[in-house]
Chains A and B, each alone.
Chain A
Amino acid sequence: MNQRPHPSRADVMDVVTRSLRTIVAGQGRAVWLQESTSLTGTDTAVLDSLGMVMALVEVEQALQAAYGERIVVAGNDALFEDDGALATVGSFVDRICRLIESETA
């Protein structure tokens, strides 16, 4: 059976921005998403806590559909990790890439 390829950082960025756009549009807003866009914890953040939950699950489902079931984004204490990983779009993407690396190491 063919092993599905691992996503590159650009692939992850694409999945994350598409998922975020869907969630933000669902809240009746449109935002320009870039690496530095604040996700949570600031006045300009694009997501509230509910939106963050939906984003974690949406991104995980999209990555699993495209790249396989082993990629876990919304596991365990994902929401409560106080390492700034969910602060911006870029840090969120980096965190997912680290998770994928550790999974495949």
Chain B
Amino acid sequence: MKALVIDDSRVMRRIVSNILVEVGFECIEAENGQVALDQLEAHSDVALCCIDWNMPVMTGFEFVVAARKRAEWRNVTLMMVTTEGEQDQIVRALAAGAHEYVLKPFTPEVIVNKLQFLGLVDLKEMA
């Protein structure tokens, strides 16, 4: 399965990618929402996007809104991974079409656990 990791921090992209690779994903990256949209156009087999909120050019929230307008991406799972932990932001992101929300800082277990909920990772991966 392919995952798209969207964050303007290269270090953070690496951290998230490493966790995803560990549970069997192949990862591609984007440093903002616009690049992420381009990546989705180029890779029709992306199953999961991990999305930071605050990024230059196009924010993660704007990306979620834009991606949800495209019927062919309906099956892509969108998971916010962000420091933005205000209740109304979480509500807004979910209402816009994000499926899950991970607050930074997080442990690898947190990400894997959410992916199990979303049915993207087998429960056995969680030894």
A, B co-complexed = no
